[in-house]
Structure 1
Amino acid sequence: MLDLMPSLNEWRPAVSGQQCAVATIVSASGSVPRPPGTSMVVSDSGEVLGSLSGGCVEGAVVGAALEAMRDGGSRLETFGYSAEDAFAAGLTCGGELEVHIQPLGSRSGALQLEALRGFPAGADGALALIRRVDADGGGGIVVPDPAAFSAAHSAELAALLGLHVRHDASAMLAAAAQLEPLLRGGHTGLVRLAPADGCAGRVFGMGVPDAVAPVATLPHAEPVTLLVESRLPPARMLVFGANDFGAALLPAAKLLGYRVTLCDARPAFAAQQRFSVADEVVTDWPHCYLAAEAAAGRVDGRSVVCVLTHDPKFDVPLLRTALGLELAYVGAMGSRRSHRQRVDSLLEAGVVPERLARLHSPIGLDLGAVTPAEVAVSITAELIAARNQRAGGTPAAGCAPLKDGSGPIHRSAGRSTAAKHKEAGHKEAGHEEAKHKEAGHSETAHQEIAWT
């Protein structure tokens, strides 16, 4: 729903006050086009904003949404593949979706369209939405700063759960223990809170392992189910090198959603108009700039560093600094010969082999890339593989062409926050290997997170 909220301010049915319903994927299994949290808004005149499956089930969802607006009740619809009924709405890819359909503002306590239209997004784009998707509730709250949100002390959240912040402090603390990992991690997931005589709550979410949480005893006969969607500020990519390769990488990185900084020590090179696509252009010595950004807390475990300068006087001090930080990815351009020389220099500078094994050098997947645009694709392909825990390069490592693979195309999106902050699947390299070989890759087990 977060992706659609900005469009509601200009969507004609919402602006004109038409009755609307929202349909949201709350569970997905097998091969499905879109993940949980994906939403579609339907007006009472049948106009649609958004898409759930690219066309497979939209018609049936629109029909169910119109029925929900007529009777005022929410519902849960399941869509899968049916070989027996050729005319049934379903997913030809073989997966299964559960779709929660809810009228907006049609009854007391319902999610209000105006609240979604006027959401107070954070200045950095951070935003979260917590919605009731169980049979007994349909409201929701917008959270403009999910990283700092204190669930245990939120009167809005307490009202959504039918609790009181002070009188039900233990239940609020238990609910916070389940909600805050999703909110602060920028994840989407379901949280189930037990009724007064129920069992422990459980979190099901992208990026958060299934975990039994403290019991949040609630004044309901059935468990309360919350859908949490959280978005953090964009992760940063720091590109070092004002050259043709840097110019090609900037727009490619923007497509992946990074906030991109270009840094080069040479003012005449950094000032070129072709680098204006970057969110910011900095003239500074690369290692000094990175160290200052790290000290100020402006890089973190989601940040990416791409070293394209291909000059030892810049590369070695910069990589020494970068490999001392907990970053999502550090890559450096150069031939295998220059990589070996770079490794020797880094070892002499005191970088330990275990840290060197985290370096992607030569940078990118082996796609046969030659031109700057092709190299940009190679780098971004390796970035996607790294952040999705697919180690790169060979069919055995999981980055073979799709036509040569087997099993589901879409793996579970869930993995732990710690795993997101680590490099995907690198071997420990010995001292000699670190000096004379490119760091190898090994496949790591991909953590499956269950949705129900």
Structure 2
Amino acid sequence: MRDVLDDLLRWWSAGTPAGLAIVTRTWSSAPRAAGSAMAVGPDGVVVGSVSGGCVEAAVYDLCLEVAESGVARTASFGVADDLALGVGLPCGGTIDLTIGRVDRSTFPDLPDLVEAVSAERPVTLIVGENGYSLSKDDVDVRTSQTVIAFLPPPRMLVFGATDHAAAVARIGAFLGYRVTVCDARPVFATARRFPGAHEVVVDWPHRYLAAEAEAGRIDRRTVLCVLTHDPKFDVPTLELALRLDVGYVGAMGSRRTHGERLDRLREAGLSEPELGRLCSPIGLDLGARSPEETAVSIAAEIVALRHGGSGVRLSASDGPVHKNSSTASNLSGAFDH
């Protein structure tokens, strides 16, 4: 829903109503997750998406209708009778929607929501029958209401100021992570070399990671990519990383480097279950060669683990395209609304 907030606020500020459709529930291979949204403004402009294209035209009409009438409503779309040409979800899923009117009376807290999201502060939106409000500690959130949590972006920490790190930083930002590149060498760790990162830190990786963990800025959505393949940096960083409750820890290096690294980590006292959390050599087997291709393989591994994917070609597998969320790992929820 983040992608519609700026336009909603612009229409709200102008005093013109808009229609807002929010996905409240999904089943099977629905293409967009709960919390996805589409808004239609008074000038007919549409922003956002609720289905990736399958039912957008019908939802567009509903948004126009609700914006005009002010009467909120719900709708459900799904596959019916093998309809590939009708209004439905030929991709194989079902979605429930709530469609409401957004104006100053129905959504008085919209500026506060936009400000909180921009400042990366956690905030919860409650979608009720008569409008929208932000959750307070004493609010009774009933099951009939839709609750959407806006969390700060998940973090990606990339250790090692290398060409591969620059490519990983770019794709990490593209996936919605707040990316930090960290290296102890100031000549290499510069903002100019890493334009895709949100911040570049000059520090020993293990020392920086320890400080961030102590400050409470590391959580289960955090992903760590150790790309230096230098034992003096890698081993102390991985010794700490594998003991933290994070979503992903990957390390670059050959299989020989990986074996030697495991020996050093065992000598440092790490247990086999802790070592089993290490994704090394990092990434999926895509036959990658360039830093950019390698970054794609690393991103693919992170996404697969987040959603419980197998990493095999879809054309060579059976079953639903989209996995049930119950199969996902610690990375579940890394991309909030």
Same-fold status (TM-score > 0.5): yes
> Which residue matches 1:17?
15
CA distance in 1, matches of 2:324, 2:58: 26
TM-score, normalisation: structure 1: 0.67
Alpha-carbon distance between aligned partners in 2 of 1:86 and 1:272, rounded to the nearest angstrom: 49
Name the % identity: 45
- 2:335 maps to none
* 1:139-178 → structure 2 map (5 Å cutoff): 139-143=131-135, 150=137, 153=138, 157=139, 172=140, 175=141
Query: Does residue 65 of structure 1 match 2:63?
Result: yes
Partner of 1:4: 4
Equivalent AA in structure 2 for residue 140 of structure 1: Y
Cα gap change, 1:55 to 1:269, in 2 (>3 Å) = closer
What is the aligned counterpart of 1:339 among 258, 261, 268? Answer: 258
Tell me the residue number matched to 1:413: 325
Give the letter for the 1:101 counterpart. Answer: I
Tell me how far apart the structure 2 counterparts of residues 421 and 41 of structure 1 sit (CA, whole Å): 28
- Kept in 2, the 8 Å contact 1:21–1:102? The answer is yes
Which structure carries more relative contact order (alpha carbon 8 Å, separation 6+)?
2
> Aligned runs of 1:51-450 on 2, under 5 Å?
51-83=49-81, 88-105=86-103, 111-112=106-107, 114-117=108-111, 119=113, 120-121=115-116, 123-132=119-128, 137-143=129-135, 150=137, 153=138, 157=139, 172=140, 175=141, 192=143, 225-271=144-190, 273-390=192-309, 398-414=310-326, 419-420=329-330
Q: CA separation in 1, counterparts of 2:157 and 2:84?
A: 51
Residue 44 (structure 1) shift: 5.4
Counterpart amino acid of residue 38 in structure 2: M
Query: Unaligned stretches of 5+ in structure 1?
Result: 144-148, 158-171, 176-190, 193-224, 391-397, 423-452
Matches within 5 A, 1:41-60: 41-43=39-41, 46-60=44-58
How far has the Cα of 1:82 moved from its partner?
3.4
CA distance in structure 2 between the partners assigned to 1:4 and 1:250 by the alignment: 25
Q: Which digits, 9 at most, give the CA deviation of each residue in 1:322-361, with x for residues without a partner?
A: 1222221111111111111111111112112221111111
Please report how far the alpha carbon of residue 294 of structure 1 lies from its aligned counterpart in structure 2 after TM superposition: 1.4
Q: Indicate conservation of the 8 Å contact 2:301/2:311, yes or no.
A: no
Q: Secondary structure at the match of 2:38?
A: strand
Distance in structure 2 (CA, Å) of the matches to 1:356 and 1:256: 27
Return the alpha-carbon distance in structure 2 between the equivalents of residues 70 and 294 of structure 1.
Answer: 50
Question: Is this contact kept in 1: 2:191–2:200, CA < 8 A?
Answer: no
Q: Is the 8 A contact 1:6 1:117 kept in 2?
A: no
Contact between 2:191 and 2:199, CA under 8 Å: does it hold in 1? no
* 1:52-82 CA distance string (max 9 Å, x none): 2233322222333344345442222222233
**Higher gyration radius (CA):** 1
Aligned 8 A contact 1:128 1:228 in 2? yes
Contact 2:8 2:18 in 1 (8 A): no
> How far apart are the structure 2 equivalents of 1:141 and 1:257?
25
Aligned residues: 330
- How far apart in 2 are the matches of 1:91 and 1:421? 27
Q: TM-score, normalised by structure 2?
A: 0.88
Matched position secondary structure for 2:179: strand
Q: Secondary structure at the match of 2:126?
A: strand
Moved more, 34-43 or 350-359: 34-43
